[in-house]
């Protein structure tokens, strides 16, 4: 068994393909890999994306491909000669999911199926599939990997995202079980940090606080979330890619110590940034997640994963990046790639 203090494995000399590579996690992972590996980012487009704001953009080991995961021919070409695949591509964002349910299911499930078919028979080292903590439904308090999934009603468009991701989990597991594909399933719990764009509570709060604008809290603010800094998350992801103990497993990845209500988070952001902004409550007309807190025991035992970035430090680090990139954020603050590597529907 790996101890919780084990160093993060170093990956080198590999060809890594990241689908949805224009997005936040893909960009952050690429920054960690690109000096010692050849990284290919596959996405519908890269303009005004996290990837273009990363320190890896323009690196000699970085290649980009504009393509669609619904295109099997493009995927077959992109996967040629790869050693590691990190599958982040998905329709994300509550607004997108609510208005584009059909596309959400097609991209998130059919795109995953296309990728697995493209990889079938190829000698890859690892395929990491990104699912979501939303497979646990409305409440996921200290949810473990074997906690039963909860499927929301068909009448609510919100759940098209989680049902497609859950179906993807089953398909990925079948490829591992039947074809011995070295797969890993990751369920992220509210990851944030430098490079994250798009409609996301932490970004909206920090940017509003820096500008002196109202912080908009949906509902009554009693929703509970656990917040994981991107540095901790990428550490876990590198372990999923590198360690033999990860193959065939599913992992919840987050930071349960950084657990607060949404209202408390808004207050903390205001206090840390010494902002004169006010909090404004807004009613919502869609299903929300009441509680989202992971149990990390499996990741600790099999991966040696132990998140270390505390919430206050993580908020300040993120705020520094947003402050430095405010001119870049203005045209993209409400924009994210339609198929990107974000981690949650909210």
pLDDT digits (tens, 9 = 90+) for 21-72: 999 999 999 999 999 999 999 999 999 999 999 999 999 999 999 999 999 9
For 52-92, the DSSP string reads HHSTTTT-TTEEEEE--TT-HHHHHHHTTT-SEEEE--B--
Do residues 181 and 175 touch, judged by C-beta distance below 8 A?
A: yes
Nearest CA to 305 among 260, 248, 256? 256
- CA 83 – CA 203 distance, rounded (Å): 34
Tell which CATH architecture fits domain 15-194+229-255+291-307: 3-Layer(aba) Sandwich (3.40)
- Tokens 């099999």 locate to 302
With a pLDDT cut of 90, the percent of the chain lying above it is 77
For 263-320, the DSSP string reads HHHHHHHHHHTT----EEEE--SS---SEEEE--HHHHHHH-------HHHHHHHHHH
At residue 328 the predicted structure's pLDDT band, cuts being 50, 70 and 90, is confident
pTM assigned to the model: 0.92
For 13-38, the DSSP string reads S-EEEEETTTSHHHHHHHHHHTTTSE
Nearest CA to 87 among 173, 16, 32? 16
Query: What are 260-317's pLDDT values in tens digits?
Result: 999 999 999 999 999 999 999 998 766 667 889 999 999 999 999 999 999 999 999 9
Residue 335: what pLDDT? 42
Give the contacts of 174 (CB within 8 A, at least 6 positions apart).
none
Mean pLDDT of 231-250: 98
* Domain range list for the chain: 15-194+229-255+291-307
Residue among 161, 175, 305, 322 flagged as catalytic: 161
Establish whether 305 is a catalytic residue: no
Q: Considering only 13-22, 199-208, 246-255, 297-306, which range has the smallest mean pLDDT?
A: 199-208
H-run or E-run covering 12: none
pLDDT of 342 over the 70 cut: no
Q: Give residue 55's Cα distance to chain centre.
A: 19
């Amino acid at each position: 068994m790996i101890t919780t203090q084990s160093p993060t494995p170093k990956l080198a000399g590999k060809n890594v393909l990241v689908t949805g590579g224009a997005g936040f996690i893909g960009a952050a992972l690429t920054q960690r890999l690109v000096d010692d590996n050849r990284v290919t980012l596959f996405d519908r487009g890269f303009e005004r994306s996290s990837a273009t704001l990363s320190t890896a953009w323009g690196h000699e080991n970085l290649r980009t491909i504009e393509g669609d995961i619904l295109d099997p021919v493009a995927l077959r070409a992109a996967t040629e000669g790869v050693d590691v695949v990190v599958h982040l591509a998905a329709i994300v964002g509550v607004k997108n999911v609510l208005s584009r349910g059909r596309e959400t299911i097609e991209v998130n499930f059919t795109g995953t199926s296309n990728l697995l078919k493209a990889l079938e028979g190829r000698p890859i080292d690892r395929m990491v599939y990104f699912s979501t903590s939303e497979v646990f439904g409305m409440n996921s308090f200290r949810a473990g990997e074997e906690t039963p999934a909860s499927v929301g009603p068909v009448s609510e468009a919100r759940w098209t995202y989680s049902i497609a991701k859950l179906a993807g989990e089953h398909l990925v597991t079948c490829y591992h079980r039947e074809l011995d594909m070295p797969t890993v399933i990751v369920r992220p719990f509210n990851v944030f940090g430098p490079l994250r764009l798009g409609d996301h509570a932490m970004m909206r709060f920090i940017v509003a606080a820096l500008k002196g604008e109202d912080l908009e809290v949906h509902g009554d603010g009693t929703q509970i979330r656990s917040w994981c800094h991107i540095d901790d998350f990428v550490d876990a992801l590198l372990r999923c890619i590198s360690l033999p103990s990860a193959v065939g497993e599913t992992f919840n990845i987050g930071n349960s110590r950084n657990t607060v209500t949404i209202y408390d988070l808004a207050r903390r952001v205001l206090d840390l940034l010494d902002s004169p902004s006010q909090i404004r409550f807004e009613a919502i007309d869609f299903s929300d997640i009441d509680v989202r807190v992971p149990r990390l025991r499996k990741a600790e035992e099999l991966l040696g994963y132990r998140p270390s970035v505390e919430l206050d430090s993580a908020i300040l680090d993120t705020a520094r990046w947003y402050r430095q990139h405010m001119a870049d954020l203005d045209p993209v603050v409400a924009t994210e790639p339609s198929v990107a590597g974000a981690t949650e529907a909210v």
